[in-house]
């Protein structure tokens, strides 16, 4: 049976992450994928779409509302249980670790759901990694800016060239067992206090 | 300094997480050798999932939630026990200004009286139905919550069928006021500060409170993964002692300012200090400039507030049965009875020489006045604990109580 015959609903307020998951599902051959960012009116959407699988991020505060809706099963035709089977502890743990949860129509075979859940887990992890790397890159850029300013201060006040200024910063950082960016920030702050012209 | 125990605890941004938050932030946990790591969550479902897979050892939970977990009512549930209660009372029923006007036209007065307010609400519902209007929509925080059961208890006792005459939906606590303002819901039952927040914003009126529906009634608890409790008895006992000292500190009027400031911090509730005060003082702004003082509005410590009474668990169980969440069977009853663990509370606190109830359960609604009771050690005062409709819940006569429950 083709994997594409399952209807999948992705609920994620984070648009970038949602599109990453959607792309992954489509790459895996799933054609019936709906992405929802806002849970307003979700009951009606679920009734229309009749999803076999619902993937939702754990940060979404509306999980309690959704679970209640599934249990009342007035909006949803069939009862929906979380994951395929409770004994599959490893994938449940992996999902919660990754920050994703899934609800599945009762009676669907585990082999059909597992790849979808695995895909969601790996894409969630990839997104977290990406977000972390982006944050690191951002703080790296900030660090570089402050180091440049610190070098400038040393060059002007001590008459050093750029390389000597950097060597001095690095040596001080090593002696004090601190990061160069921290030393640079201290210097910029101190210069700001001592003379406004240096603090810019 | 390294601690003897490291415990990770989940909580939801509600005022009644105060005893747990203060245990971590005011040094009570550290004094018992516990490094208490507090983690805020966004849904009860997350708390349940993270307890089940071991991310959390313990958590701030709705009183009926560990029962629901142990009874297998929710997905991904695990055996969860309750060795400590986080307080009594603390909830309100808040309605939109429009609903309040309708209730007032049918005889409601701003005095929080549950019977009068319920009668007026019933008349309004009847009037709306006759005019062919949509049923009112009320929100609670979770199907397995004290909020859901006390709202339904109140409505049913006032002749309103909570399943047919109104609609009950689930909304996360911090979103209640917004949903009310946007007209997505007409009223709700939730813990503080989310009622006072709506009144302060001028978008809702408090019409009654949990402490008047059932005085000294159970609300949030500490839910503990049973396997963790069995493997870490010393850590659990140390935690319960830390929570006991924290609860005593939270109840002391001298600490109200500090506690309100603590809970106001962005990592806990992120709401202004002034909004925290009604929960502590019982002086509620009902809306429209009316202020009311509610005795025993929220008790984090007094009246044996931290004792996990089996009669509380069993009352929740009867409500699960009443509203069709599970069948009444001897097996289910036994699971409910075993979920709350006064034995663990007693053994942890015994070395402190503090007042401990001698019984595991009590007849709820029997005490008409504050009553000193027999207890181990120092004296202990319980009650009054009446239901607003005068009913009595005897945990030794569950079958009769279940049989006598009406849906409206």
What's the pLDDT at A87?
61
Q: Which residues of chain B have pLDDT under 70?
A: 1, 374-378, 408
What's the pLDDT at A78?
62
- Provide the CATH number for the domain formed by B5-87+219-263+300-355 in this structure: 3.40.190.10
- What is the SS3 assignment for B134? coil
- Residue B81 has a CB neighbour count (10 Å cut-off) of 24
Interface of B with A (CB under 8 A): 42-46, 49-50, 52-53, 55, 74-76, 141-143, 169-172, 174-175
How many residues does the structure list for chain A?
200
In degrees rounded to 5, what are phi and psi of residue A83? 60, -170
Place of tokens 């992996």: A94
What count of Cα atoms within 13 Å lies in the side-chain half-sphere of residue B335?
22
Place of tokens 């060059």: A155
What's the pLDDT at B284?
97
Q: Determine, for residues A62 and B50 on separate chains, whether the beta-carbon distance falls below 8 Å.
A: no
| Contacts with A71 from chain B: Cβ below 8 Å | 143
Which pLDDT tens digits describe chain A residue by residue (200 residues)?
Answer: 444 478 999 999 999 999 999 999 999 999 999 999 988 888 888 888 889 899 999 999 999 998 888 877 655 556 676 665 656 778 888 888 999 988 888 777 878 888 888 999 999 998 999 899 999 999 999 999 999 999 999 999 999 999 999 999 999 999 999 999 999 999 999 998 887 654 44
What's the pLDDT at A197?
54
Task: Evaluate whether B247 touches B18 at the Cβ level (below 8 Å).
Answer: no
Q: What is the ipTM of this complex?
A: 0.90
Give bridge partners of residue B89 from the DSSP assignment: B298
Helix axis angle for B114-130 and B97-105, nearest 10°, is 100
Q: Determine, for residues A61 and B42 on separate chains, whether the beta-carbon distance falls below 8 Å.
A: yes
CATH of B91-213, one of 3.40.605.10, 3.40.190.10, 2.10.109.10, 3.40.718.10: 3.40.190.10
What's the pLDDT at A199?
42
Residue of A nearest to B77 (CA): A86
Instruction: Indicate the DSSP class of residue B68.
Output: H
Residue A143 CA to residue A181 CA, distance in Å, equals 5
B264: burial class by Cβ within 10 Å (0-12, 13-18, 19+)?
A: middle
What's the pLDDT at B211?
97
Residue B21 CA to residue B11 CA, distance in Å, equals 8
| Contacts with B76 from chain A: Cβ below 8 Å | 82-83, 86, 92
- Residue B233 has a CB neighbour count (10 Å cut-off) of 12
Shortest Cα distance, chain A CAs vs residue B96, angstroms: 20
Instruction: List Cβ neighbours of A190 (8 Å cut-off, separation of 6 or more).
Output: none
Please provide the DSSP assignment of B46-61 as one string.
Answer: HHHHHHHHTS-SEEEE
Q: Which residue of B42, B53, B171 is in closest CB contact with A92? A: B53
**Dihedral over Cα of B253, B258, B261, B266: its sign:** negative
Interface of A with B (CB under 8 A): 58-65, 67-69, 71, 81-83, 86, 89, 92-93, 96, 101, 103
Place of tokens 């008409």: B368
Residue B211 CA to residue B135 CA, distance in Å, equals 27
What's the pLDDT at A2?
47
Place of tokens 């606190």: B349
Shortest Cα distance, chain A CAs vs residue B148, angstroms: 12
Helix axis angle for B310-322 and B146-157, nearest 10°, is 60
What's the pLDDT at A200?
44
What's the pLDDT at A109?
80
Cα–Cα distances (Å) from B126 to A158, B20, B219, in that order, read 85, 43, 31
Instruction: Indicate the DSSP class of residue A108.
Output: -
Q: Which tokens in the block code for residue B392?
A: 């009595």
User: Which domains, and CATH codes, for chain A?
Assistant: 3-132 (3.40.50.2300), 135-199 (1.10.10.10)
Instruction: List Cβ neighbours of B273 (8 Å cut-off, separation of 6 or more).
Output: B257, B260, B261, B264
Residue of B nearest to A99 (CA): B46
| Contacts with B75 from chain A: Cβ below 8 Å | 67, 81-83, 103
Residue B265 CA to residue B22 CA, distance in Å, equals 12
Taking the mean position of all CA atoms in its chain, how far away is CA A117? 17
Residue of A nearest to B174 (CA): A61
- What is the SS3 assignment for B252? coil
Residue B65 CA to residue B107 CA, distance in Å, equals 36
Cα–Cα distances (Å) from A182 to A98, A185, A199, A200, B54, in that order, read 32, 5, 16, 19, 37
What's the pLDDT at B226?
95
Q: Determine, for residues B42 and A60 on separate chains, whether the beta-carbon distance falls below 8 Å.
A: yes
| Contacts with B50 from chain A: Cβ below 8 Å | 96
First to last CA, chain A: 67
Q: Where are the strands (E) in B63-181, listed by range?
A: 80-85, 88-89, 91-96, 137-140, 167-170
Q: Which tokens in the block code for residue B377?
A: 């050690």
**Dihedral over Cα of B208, B213, B216, B220: its sign:** negative
Q: Note the helical H segments in B176-329.
A: 176-181, 196-200, 210-213, 226-231, 233-251, 256-264, 273-281, 310-322
Residue limits of CATH 3.40.190.10 in chain B:
5-87+219-263+300-355, 91-213
């Amino acid at each position: 049976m083709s994997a594409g015959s399952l209807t999948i609903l992705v609920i994620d307020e984070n648009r970038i992450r949602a599109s990453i998951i959607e792309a992954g599902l489509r790459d895996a051959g799933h054609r019936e994928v709906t992405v929802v960012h806002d849970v307003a009116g979700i009951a009606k959407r679920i009734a229309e779409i009749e999803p076999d699988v619902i993937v939702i991020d754990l940060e979404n505060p509306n999980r309690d509302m959704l679970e209640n809706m599934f249990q009342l099963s007035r909006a949803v035709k069939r009862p929906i249980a979380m994951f395929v089977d409770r004994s599959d502890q490893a994938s449940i743990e992996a999902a919660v670790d990754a920050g994703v949860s899934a609800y599945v129509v009762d009676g669907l075979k585990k082999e059909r759901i597992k790849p979808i859940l695995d895909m969601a887990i790996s894409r969630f992890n990839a997104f977290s990694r990406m977000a972390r790397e982006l944050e690191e890159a951002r703080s790296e850029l900030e660090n570089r800016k402050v180091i440049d300013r610190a070098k400038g201060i040393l060059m002007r006040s001590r008459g050093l060239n750029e390389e000597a200024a950097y060597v001095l910063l690095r040596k001080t950082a090593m002696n004090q067992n601190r990061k160069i960016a921290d030393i640079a920030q201290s210097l910029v702050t101190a210069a700001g206090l001592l003379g406004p012209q240096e603090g810019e | 300094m390294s601690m003897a125990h490291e415990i990770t605890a989940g909580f939801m941004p509600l005022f009644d997480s105060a005893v747990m938050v203060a245990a971590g932030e005011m040094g009570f946990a550290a004094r018992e050798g516990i490094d208490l790591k507090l983690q805020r969550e966004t849904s009860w479902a997350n708390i349940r999932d993270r307890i089940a897979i071991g991310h959390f050892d313990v958590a701030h939970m709705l009183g009926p939630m560990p029962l629901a977990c142990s009874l297998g009512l929710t997905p991904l549930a695990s055996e969860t026990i309750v060795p400590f209660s986080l307080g009594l009372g603390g909830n309100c029923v808040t309605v939109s200004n429009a609903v309040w006007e309708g209730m007032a036209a049918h005889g409601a007065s701003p005095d929080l009286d549950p019977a009068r307010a319920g009668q007026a609400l019933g008349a309004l519902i009847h009037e709306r139905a006759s005019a062919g209007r949509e049923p009112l929509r009320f929100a609670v925080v979770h199907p397995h919550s004290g909020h859901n059961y006390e709202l339904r208890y109140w409505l049913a006792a006032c002749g309103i069928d909570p399943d047919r005459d109104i609609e009950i939906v689930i909304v996360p606590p911090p979103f209640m006021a917004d949903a009310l303002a946007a007209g997505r819901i007409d009223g709700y039952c939730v813990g503080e500060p989310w009622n006072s927040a709506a009144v302060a914003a001028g978008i809702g009126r408090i019409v009654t409170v949990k402490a008047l529906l059932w005085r000294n009634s159970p609300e949030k608890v500490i839910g503990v993964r049973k396997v963790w409790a069995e493997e870490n008895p010393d850590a659990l006992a140390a935690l319960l002692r830390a929570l006991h000292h924290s609860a005593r500190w939270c109840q002391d009027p001298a600490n109200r300012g500090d506690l309100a400031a603590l809970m106001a911090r962005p990592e806990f509730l992120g709401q202004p200090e002034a909004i925290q005060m009604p929960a502590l003082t019982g002086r509620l702004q009902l809306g429209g400039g009316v202020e009311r003082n509610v005795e025993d509005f929220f008790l984090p410590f007094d009246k044996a507030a931290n004792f996990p009474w089996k009669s509380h668990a069993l009352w929740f169980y009867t409500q699960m049965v009443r509203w069709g969440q599970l069948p009444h069977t001897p097996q289910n009853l036994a699971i409910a009875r075993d979920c709350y663990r006064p034995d663990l509370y007693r053994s942890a606190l015994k070395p402190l020489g503090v007042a401990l109830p001698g019984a595991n359960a009590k007849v709820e609604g029997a005490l008409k006045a504050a009553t000193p009771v027999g207890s181990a050690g120092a004296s202990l005062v319980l009650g009054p604990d009446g239901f607003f409709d005068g009913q009595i819940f005897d945990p030794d006569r569950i079958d009769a109580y279940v049989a006598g429950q009406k849906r409206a």
